[in-house]
Structure 1
């Protein structure tokens, strides 16, 4: 069984994920752009019981563009967001793919909020579902 471990930048907050993710996606919403500090966010989701989070973290919640609540878990030392949950996808924990520091991580299957995608950006790949 596959085990992937994501960490914050200082390494004290960790998420150990067992098995393969059930969903890998990129999001172009403005809030994900702010959260990631990039033109989009890249995340993978696992069932809650397949993600073991260790170390110190803080939580912050907000209502997203979908109208549903999301709760973000981040390191109080370095500030990096490692995991979050979304009311619209219950029983799943999302993990920021960049926190795995793995350039061979599986590609996204979904690209969402493309109406807010930067014009210079193209999400390419076979079988990727695109949603405005």
Structure 2
């Protein structure tokens, strides 16, 4: 597979290759992303599942989100690096963690979600649309038009 970008965990045991650039990238400030990232938000890059090839052993953790959907987080069992998430309501997509991407310039965040939950010390980029919660799923137009907090 020719790759548009690659990714890896901290120890190198898990690798990923994507044959396309992300369709969308977002900063999520929800409590789960904040806690799983170890900082004020988590940045995810959305791609079709079939565009990403993952090699190496992963451990998975399922957690119901505020939306009622189940988010499955995949991480390296050796070093603990978060690699990607899956969402039960968007089964055709994979959400690659920006922290796992080897060429970070391919990540171009377009929106902030759950901005109402961002800690005061985690500054939100005023150039990006900021939604207090999650915008309607499947509505790219809503995200592109944006709502600034």
TM-score normalised according to structure 2 size? 0.81
Number of the residue aligned with 2:41: 40
Verify the 8 A CA contact 1:39 1:117 in the aligned structure 2.
Answer: yes
**Greater RCO, 1 or 2 (C-alpha within 8 Å, sep 6+):** 1
**RMSD, aligned α-carbons:** 1.6
Q: Note the residue ranges of structure 1 that are not aligned, 5 or more in a row.
A: none
Number of the residue aligned with 1:24: 25
- 1:14 paired with 2:15, answer yes
TM-score normalised according to structure 1 size? 0.90
Q: Note the residue ranges of structure 2 that are not aligned, 5 or more in a row.
A: 133-149
Distance 1:23 1:36 in 2: 19
Number of the residue aligned with 1:106: 107
Number of the residue aligned with 1:130: 130
Number of the residue aligned with 1:64: 65
The count of corresponding residues between Structure 1 and Structure 2 is: 131
Deviations 1:83-107 (A, max 9, x none): 1101232200011101114342333
Write 1 or 2 for the structure with the bigger share of strand.
1
Number of the residue aligned with 2:82: 81
Deviations 1:64-94 (A, max 9, x none): 1111001111111111110110123220001
